[in-house]
Structure 1
Amino acid sequence: MQIEGSCPRTQRELIELEFIEHRTKILDIAAFLDRFDRSVEHNANDDFRIKAFREALKALNSYEFGRVERIQMLLSDVSSELRAERDGQSAYGAAKESEQ
């Protein structure tokens, strides 16, 4: 799907201005995944966060418009229920499978 006129820059301008910044981000992700795969113990391949992360990478590689929204939803815990007790210091960044 092509949406013309929704960005004030041309594709060439975007490449010239932002390519190196986003190249670095992709390299950071590749380094994380390499470390994950080289871990001394492979005990988290079924973790809900890594599953969501890999699904987000698939969505990122899509040519369909709306990648940001799809990825945001994959990497968000949208539950609004209060927990009986605190189960961590920070957000998980994805919904646990039992909460999706």
Structure 2
Amino acid sequence: MPTKQEILDLHFMDARYKLIDLAAFLDRVDRHSGEGDFRFDALKAALPLLLSEQQGRAKAVLDALSDPSIEPIEKATTQGASGAPRPAGVPL
């Protein structure tokens, strides 16, 4: 089993890149006019999960950005997923 130091040596630069990329995305959204939507709100709400000391942060973030419904919708109006759960009343 690798040590924490070995994991850091192998993966730190990749994690650093992803964090900087996420910060750049947030900056891009903030620079532009108009309103955000539920996806941006869900992403921002999931960010504190990264700082948690609890095991299972990846699952917690995935759950926060996943649709918890189990009933199929009658008819899809779009193709593909939105990447975040839609609040009640937000049309597909």
* TM-score for the superposition, normalised by structure 2: 0.86
Paired residue total: 89
The aligned residue for residue 42 of structure 1 is 34
* 1:18, distance to aligned residue in structure 2 (A): 0.3
Contact 1:56–1:74 (Cα < 8 Å) also in 2: yes
Which residue among 59, 66, 91 is the counterpart of 2:81? 91
Calculate percent identity across the aligned residue pairs.
Answer: 38
Q: Aligned partners of 1:42, 1:14: CA distance in 2, in Å?
A: 41
* TM-score for the superposition, normalised by structure 1: 0.80
Tell me the C-alpha RMSD between the 2 structures.
1.5
Q: Aligned partners of 2:34, 2:12: CA distance in 1, in Å?
A: 34
In the TM superposition, 1:1-100 aligns within 5 A as 8-39=1-32, 41-44=33-36, 47-98=37-88
Superposition misfits of 4+ residues, deviation over 6 angstroms: none
Letter in 2 for 1:42: G
Contact 1:56–1:75 (Cα < 8 Å) also in 2: yes
Contact 1:60–1:67 (Cα < 8 Å) also in 2: yes
Tell me, what secondary structure is at the counterpart of 2:88?
Answer: helix
